[in-house]
Amino acid sequence: MQGEGQIENDFGPSTGGTTQNGGQSPMIDGTTRPYNEVYGEYAAEAKRTLGRTQLPASMQDKVKQYFDQIQPD
């Protein structure tokens, strides 16, 4: 896509800084689970979280609508 405006480049050095290593990832290399299997877990956790938080009703409705829209057939 062609954009508009002036192109700016940062010609500063690309080295430096520090690297931080985090903890262990919950992801297991080489494994996948079917979408329809994990959807139920994610939707249930979202519902539990909505019950504990003080989100405005309109935001709670948005979360519910989101999970309704991505629900597997």
pLDDT digits (tens, 9 = 90+) for 3-53: 677 777 777 666 767 766 776 656 666 678 888 888 988 888 888 888 887
| Cβ neighbours around 43 below 10 Å, total | 17
pLDDT digits (tens, 9 = 90+) for 4-18: 777 777 776 667 677
Whether residue 69 is predicted with pLDDT greater than 70 in this model: the reply is yes
∠ at Cα 53 (72, 69), nearest 5°?
20
